[in-house]
Amino acid sequence: MNKPVSKAILQRLPAYLGYLRTLPAQTENISATGIAAALSMGEVQVRKDLALVSGAGRPRLGYPVQALREDLEHFLGCDDVVHAVVIGAGKLGRALLDYNGFESFGVKIVAAFDNNEKTLGETKTGKMVFPMAKFPDLCKRLKVHIALLTVPADCAQEVCNELTENGILAIMNFAPVHLQVPENVLVQNENIAPALAVLSRHLAEQLAHMI
């Protein structure tokens, strides 16, 4: 299929694509140097990353914006849309459900599931929140393999088991617990505690400098 790309590189590619999309439509070419400057990255790193994904680079000119964007989109699978569901329709869950920024990366959130009757029904963007009992059936019918898990920590593992038993192969986990999953299932943790730790420590250092 595709060349093997490390996780570190894979995580940077969406940033390049996002930047290209902010460029004015008439911009014809963009250099790795330019992208690096805009994203505060090393230009060699950008160049090496792009070389893995696109062969459209031309010495002296850089990359044609449109070709590079298409190559990135193709590589990241933005072309063929996959379906995802949100599990847990609390504030965070509903924010994810109504956020439409994922579609440009090839992921479409089709529905949410929750056990709380109060949250059931249609959201203002027209997406449905179903009772959890309907998950197994709908998951198969809608061919969903990605779940965004936003349930409380104390039931996250239990719900996670139900997901993997019904064909979910990739989970974005917002609950602050480590999930045990079968080998072929990938969990991507989106806890903000680690990020917070980094911020908090940086702050302590900055404030210490000021004294």
Judged by the rule CB under 8 A, the positions of this chain that interact with its own copies are 1, 7, 10-15, 18-19, 22, 38-40, 76-77, 82, 90-92, 94-95, 98-99, 101-102, 105-107, 145-146, 169-172, 176-178, 180, 184, 186, 188, 190-208
By CB under 7 A, residue 6 contacts DNA: yes
Nearer to DNA, 37 or 95 (CB): 37
Q: In the stretch 177-206, what mask flags binding to DNA with x, by CB under 7 A?
A: ------------------------------
Nearer to DNA, 47 or 108 (CB): 47
* 10 binds, options its own copies, DNA, none, Cβ within 5 to 8 A by partner type: its own copies
Please state, in angstroms and rounded to a whole number, the distance separating the CA atoms of residues 50 and 16: 9
* 200 binds, options DNA, its own copies, none, Cβ within 5 to 8 A by partner type: its own copies
By CB under 7 A, residue 55 contacts DNA: yes
- Taking the complex as a whole, the smallest distance from the CB of residue 62 to its own copies amounts, in Å, to 19
Residues that bind DNA (CB under 7 A): 6-9, 31-33, 42-45, 47-48, 50-51, 54-63
